[in-house]
């Protein structure tokens, strides 16, 4: 098969309905919109309007609290860092922080900080500076000979905070 032989399956693309093209087309004159009224006009009908009855979004109770100032963290797993080290994007022994993760393309953006999680293994020693880290991630990094600096506090061997 060649690129010039590729085509859609039969019935995959339906021709567009040509409305307003005479009475013989079946969708002439009012173009399938009936006579007058809000739905026949340009702009269509109001999306949540229910004919004057109390709309469902106002009938149902609102529950809970959504904190508009909640911090949202970018997640990085150990397996992602390991792939980056193996791929040569991060050199062993370097300090890994949010700026480096964005610059190497591991993260698109750092959001309100980076949180390190412990999925996967790490074989090379890295110094990792993050906003938060799970206990399993800290243990795995220290096992590989590295260390994790969590938002201003260092976690060297013996003082596992997380």
Question: Consecutive 10-residue runs of the chain (162 residues): their mean pLDDT?
Answer: 94 92 91 89 85 91 92 94 90 89 93 93 91 94 91 57 48
CATH code assigned at 97: 3.100.10.10
30 and 88 inside one domain: no
Judge if pTM exceeds 0.85.
no
Note the pLDDT of residue 76.
94
Structurally, how many domains does the chain consist of? 2
Q: Is residue 140 part of a domain?
A: yes
151 and 127 inside one domain: yes
Q: How far is CA 1 from CA 5, 9, 11, 12, 26, in A?
A: 6, 15, 21, 19, 41
Residues facing residue 133 across a β-bridge: 116
By residue range, what is the domain housing residue 122? 74-155
Give CA–CA dist 148/151, Å, rounded.
10
Q: Is residue 38 part of a domain?
A: yes
Query: Residue 101 in contact with residue 114, Cβ under 8 Å?
Result: yes
Total length of the chain: 162
151 and 79 inside one domain: yes
91 and 115 inside one domain: yes
């Amino acid at each position: 098969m060649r690129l010039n032989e590729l085509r859609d399956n039969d019935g995959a693309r339906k021709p567009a309905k040509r409305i307003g093209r005479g009475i013989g087309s079946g969708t002439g004159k009012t173009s399938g919109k009936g006579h007058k009224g809000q739905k026949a006009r340009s702009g269509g009908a109001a999306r949540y309007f229910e004919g004057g009855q109390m709309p469902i979004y106002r009938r149902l109770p609102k529950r809970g609290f959504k904190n508009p100032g909640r911090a949202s963290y970018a997640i990085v797993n150990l397996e992602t860092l390991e792939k980056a080290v193996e791929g040569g994007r991060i050199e062993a022994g370097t300090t890994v922080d949010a700026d480096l993760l964005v610059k190497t393309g591991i993260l698109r953006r750092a959001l309100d900080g980076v949180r390190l999680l412990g999925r996967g293994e790490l074989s090379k020693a890295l110094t990792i500076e993050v906003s938060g880290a799970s206990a399993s991630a800290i243990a795995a990094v220290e096992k590989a000979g590295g260390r994790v600096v969590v938002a201003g506090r260092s976690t060297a061997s013996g003082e596992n905070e997380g």
